[in-house]
Chains A and B, each alone.
Chain A
Amino acid sequence: MLVPVTFEGAEMMLPEGANLAAALLAAGVGAFRTTPVSGAARGPYCMMGACFECLIEISGATRQACMMQVQAGLVIAKPKGRANGAG
């Protein structure tokens, strides 16, 4: 069953119980965050909880998307690293 979640303020319908990182990839989300050091875009790399590249923000807490399942009502934001080109 598809349930609503929001990603960066936009609503999307994802399959309930699916791996969250896989569901976001399937929905066309490539970059999950930007890095704190250079502001580069990153997305899932290992899909098994080891690389910490698929970090997302849910209700203010940073989580690994590949270690979570889709639930209705998730409010997901991209962790923003350093702004590109800043200082």
Chain B
Amino acid sequence: MEQVDLGVIGAGPAGMAAATIAATAGLSVVVLDEQPAMGGQIYRAVASGGAARTDILGKDYLEGAGLAQDLQASTARHLTEAVVWDIAPQEGGVAITYSHKGIPARIEAKRLLLATGALERPVPLPGWTLPGVMTAGAGQILLKASGMVAPRAVLAGSGPLLYLLAVQMARAGSPPLALIETQSLRDQLAAAPRLAGGIRGWRILIKGLGLLAELRRHGIRRITGARDLEVIGTGRAEGLRFSAQGRAQEIACDTVLLHQGVVPNTQASRALGLAHDWHAGQRAFVPRTDGWGESSHPGIFIAGDGAGIAGAKAAAVAGQLAGLQIACQLGALDRAARDAKAQPARKTLDAERSIRPFLEAAYPVAAQILCPADKTLVCRCEEVTAGDVRHWAGLGCKGPNQTKAFGRVGMGPCQGRYCGLTVTEILSHSHNLPHSQIGAYRIRMPLKPVTLGELSTVNAPEDAEEGHPK
């Protein structure tokens, strides 16, 4: 079995930066990633064609190209299309099991870095399961990886990603029909005092204003303070209905791209049983990590948005910090060298994080998303409604895990990725208990569905080799 010093899961900014710095320090490093090319979602396809679209995607996207080049130039091995489905802590490290094109394999690593990034926050509103409704992130992935603009699209929800995506679509020649935003002017004014002092906060504000100005130049209609969003259509999205300025409105469209911010992808950290805390500002659970990204389980690190949303630049430097500490723990760097290299990374990380409280307050999660109407589907896979979950709460169902027994919520193929937070929110509201007390789904391996064939091939020959026939 292959043995390495460091196994990194995810080749986004955090994973690329961590692998590069650890490999440069002399560690043997493997990066496992599900995609055919490195970059993660934020820099998706940056080393394989996306870079040719910089005029559309903007220069921030190109920062990923530098990270990718550094990783390619390092001794770290990058495994593409590697779907990790099991991580087992063992003496001296972890065993990582993954499948590549359906063929399973296992790697042992002395240290593990989870760099699994973010997921779009679930956006349970009426009609969100209709074909033609996608996340804003999906809209951006189509642009980055395929140079494709979703046709006749309305962008709906809240967050600066909507502005960036709208501008990118306009530059690509297919501007969205409209931006329907759920935050209000009052939210934005209330957020203003949280704008971090110093140049960093102003820079983000100026960038945001620049995007808004470009939206106006493209003549893209923008409505804020929208409520009661609903995707209408029979068999597919045909329009978005909402109320704003005190009246019901409707826009006909073929695509609705939804966004309510992103949240840490905690699927692997949950399955490993790591400690998590509720983050009130991000309205999500965040794994508990120290200043180097080490989790509650010694030797298992988390960096990037998976450890709390802070964006791509923060992810890259958080990856460096984790890589440095891992190199130090394994004797490849002494403390003085580690600390010297860590200093600029820490400064950048602090600056990037300082702007989050402003963004969290300026673009709050819409009330209708936190507290969906009874008829709204919350679990897309098992087609369970908010009303079902509330009904079970009334029957005495206390926590997210119990809801599974009541009605299979969270037990479909997505394994709770797009309903977990909603179920926690509903139960917290129903029982009037804090989110930390309600908790989250218990996640179990395998992290992704696997076939019995994959399960049996990866386990059987190993046992025989080691002389433990079964």
> Which residues of chain A have C-beta atoms less than 8 A from B130's C-beta?
41
Q: Are B413 and A55 in contact, with the CB atoms below 8 A?
A: yes
Contact A26 B134 (CB under 8 A): no
Q: Are A31 and B412 touching (Cβ within 8 A)?
A: no
Known A42-B129, A47-B137, A51-B417: A25·B148 in contact at CB below 8 Å: yes
Contact between A41 and B236, CB atoms less than 8 A apart: yes
Closest residue of B by beta carbon distance from A26: B148
Q: Is B228 an interface residue (CB 8 A)?
A: no
Contact A46 B146 (CB under 8 A): no
A35, closest chain B residue (CB): B383
Query: What B residues does A25 contact at CB under 8 A?
Result: 142, 148, 150
Chain B, interface SS category: loop
* A12 at interface by CB-CB < 8 Å: no
Contact B236 A47 (CB under 8 A): no
Do the beta carbons of B148 and A52 come within 8 Å of each other? no
Q: Give the residues from 385 to 435 in chain B that come closer than 8 angstroms, CB to CB, to chain A.
A: 412-414, 417-418
Beta-carbon contacts of B113-142 to A below 8 Å, as 1s and 0s? 000000110000000011111110110011
A43 to chain B, nearest CB (A): 3
Do A50 and B265 touch across chains, with their CB atoms under 8 A apart?
Answer: yes
Name the residue on A nearest B143 (C-beta): A22
What DSSP secondary structure best describes chain A's contact surface?
A: loop
Which of B132, B236, B383, B418 lies in contact with A50, CB distance below 8 A?
B418
**A 21-65 binary contact with B (CB < 8 Å = 1; else 0):** 011011000111001011011111111111111010000010000
Q: Is the CB of A22 within 8 A of B235?
A: no
Q: Which chain B residues border A26 with CB–CB below 8 Å?
A: 146, 148
A62 to B235 Cα, complex, angstroms: 22
- Whole-angstrom distance between the Cβ of A51 and the nearest chain B Cβ: 5
Q: Which residues of A contact B449 (CB under 8 A)?
A: 52
A44 touches B34 (CB 8 A): no
Q: How far is the CA of A45 from the CA of B383 in the complex (A)?
A: 15
Cβ of B413 and Cβ of A52 under 8 Å apart? yes
Contact A22 B236 (CB under 8 A): no
Say yes or no: B134 contacts A47, CB within 8 Å: yes
B contact residues around A48 at 8 Å (CB): 41, 137-138, 141
The residues of A that contact B148 with a CB separation of less than 8 Å are 22, 25-26
A69: B residues at CB distance < 8 A: 36
Tell whether, in the assembled complex, residue B131 and residue A43 are in contact, meaning their CB atoms are under 8 Å apart.
yes
* Chain A positions within 8 Å of B132 at CB level: 30, 43
Which residues of chain B have C-beta atoms less than 8 A from A40's C-beta? 129, 383
B385 CB, nearest partner CB in chain A, Å: 11
1/0 per residue, CB under 8 A from A, across B443-470: the answer is 0000011010000000000000000000
- Whether B145 and A19, one on each chain, are in contact in the complex, defined by CB atoms closer than 8 angstroms, is yes
Interface residue from A35, A45, A55 paired with B135 (Cβ < 8 Å) = A45
Q: How far is the CA of A18 from the CA of B150 in the complex (A)?
A: 16
User: Nearest residue in B to A67 (C-beta to C-beta)?
Assistant: B34
Contacts of B138 in A (CB 8 A): 44-48
B414 touches A51 (CB 8 A): yes
Bound Cα distance from A81 to B412, whole angstroms = 13
Q: Are A30 and B412 in contact (CB under 8 A)?
A: no
Interface-central residue, A22, A35, A41, A45, by most chain B CB under 10 Å: A45
B residues in contact (CB < 8 Å) with A = 34, 36, 41, 81, 83, 119-120, 129-135, 137-138, 141-142, 145-146, 148, 150, 235-236, 265, 380-383, 412-414, 417-418, 448-449, 451
Residues of A with Cβ closer than 8 Å to B? 18-19, 22-23, 25-26, 30-32, 35, 37-38, 40-53, 55, 61, 67, 69
- Sample (14) of A-B pairs whose CB atoms are under 8 Å apart: A22-B145, A25-B148, A26-B146, A26-B148, A35-B383, A38-B383, A41-B130, A45-B129, A45-B133, A46-B120, A46-B418, A53-B129, A55-B413, A67-B83
